[in-house]
Amino acid sequence: MKKRRKLYCLVVALLLGLGFGAAQAKEAVRIGAIVELTGEAAEMGIENQYTIDVAEELINAQGGIEGYPLEVVVVDGGSDPAVFATKAHRLIDNKKVLAGIGGNDISFATAAGEVFAKVKAPYADIGGTTPTIPLISDFMFMAPGPDNDQGRAVAQYVTQDLGYDTFAIFKDVASSYGTKLTEYFIHFAKQFTGKDNPVPMVLSYQTGDNDYSAQLTKLKVKADKLGIQAIILPTWPQDAPNIARQARNLGIDLPLIGTDGVDTSALIDVGGEAVEGMIFSTHFHPDQPNLSDMAQKFVETYKEKHDDVPGAFGTMGYEALMVMAESVAHVIQSTGSDGWDKMGLDEKRLAVRDALLDLKFQWTTQSFSYTQEGWPKKGQIWKAVENGERVFHHFQPHESFTPAGMDTLPFK
């Protein structure tokens, strides 16, 4: 009888223990990530997945988000806006995600972001830099800096720091990226130089052109007369190195200055010696100053896992996830665990959106905050090509290229 009583007590104790443990288990913070694992943008999407995986691992290794495990549900957007929208519906309806991230193009990011906006859930674009992206809703944000900021940053740096005031620029008339960045650069170059026409040569071409001899011959003939001091290249990856090679072959040795679209391995693989010494603006470099402890761990872990450093656009996957995670942490700190547990999903989504607008982020690659429109006020990273490598060159704080009183809004 005594043995049975002891056994009974033991079973009850075990059941109570199991029940207590279950009651104490915290529900995971679930965030959806739609990345391009297939299709034309797969190279960037796959690297986004790598950086997102590392970020998730780092957060959970330190105990999750305020003790709540982080679960990132990664799905393939197929480099197709329609697929992005479909996957967004599934993440919301089936996975009940708190927030979402994803998209390396405005069409991908906004297709998903519009779905998230309908249920008032925050969404962060990963790689699209078109400044109108966050204007689709009050729940849309960007991880990289927008092109209006980049155009202003480039104009400020090359005029104020490098001392140039007269430029030629290659304008990709088949690309909204190249067209808008050209317009932004010219607009802000006028303000920083005080000149009516700081860009007297706008050399038009179309994405994928292979022969730039007509534009470069025109440049060679007129460069001295017009006082051209540098060539601005707001191009896609395949175009800048080809332009550089053909320019050098024609004996044009003007400095080459690019934007984030050139920041891929193709720059050196295709451009070779022709791009040596070129500088360009971008979003991230492992050697940039003031990396947070979390970002340093991210770089170290990424190197260990992939035997390479994370790229600028790939790292925006890490960035997008971190702004969401840090916003969740802020809400939990404000409400306490009990308050968070009592909130419904809709209430949590709205609270996280509000935190995105209030915080100055510290887990990201650089400390920044958002404007009320959803634009990140981020500094600009500059790289240079030295000895066949893309190396860190300069960090340009956001305030340095955003003087008080300057109209920085994107063009309609």
Residue 79 has pLDDT above 60, yes or no: yes
Residue range 108-114: mean pLDDT, rounded = 97
Residue pLDDT, tens place only, 112-171: 999 999 999 999 999 999 999 999 999 999 999 999 999 999 999 999 999 999 999 999
Residue pLDDT, tens place only, 13-29: 444 444 433 335 799 99
Residue range 277-286: mean pLDDT, rounded = 98
Residue pLDDT, tens place only, 197-228: 999 999 999 988 999 999 999 999 999 999 99
Residue 31 has pLDDT above 80, yes or no: yes
Sign of the four-CA dihedral 48, 318, 235, 112: positive
- Give the per-residue pLDDT at 25: 78
pLDDT band at 348; cut points 50, 70, 90: very high
Domains defined along the chain, listed by start: 29-145+288-369 (3.40.50.2300), 148-282+380-401 (3.40.50.2300)
Residue 371 has pLDDT above 90, yes or no: yes
CB 102 within 8 A of CB 126: yes
pLDDT band at 404; cut points 50, 70, 90: confident
- Give the per-residue pLDDT at 407: 83
- Specify the pairing of strand 360-361 against strand 368-369: antiparallel
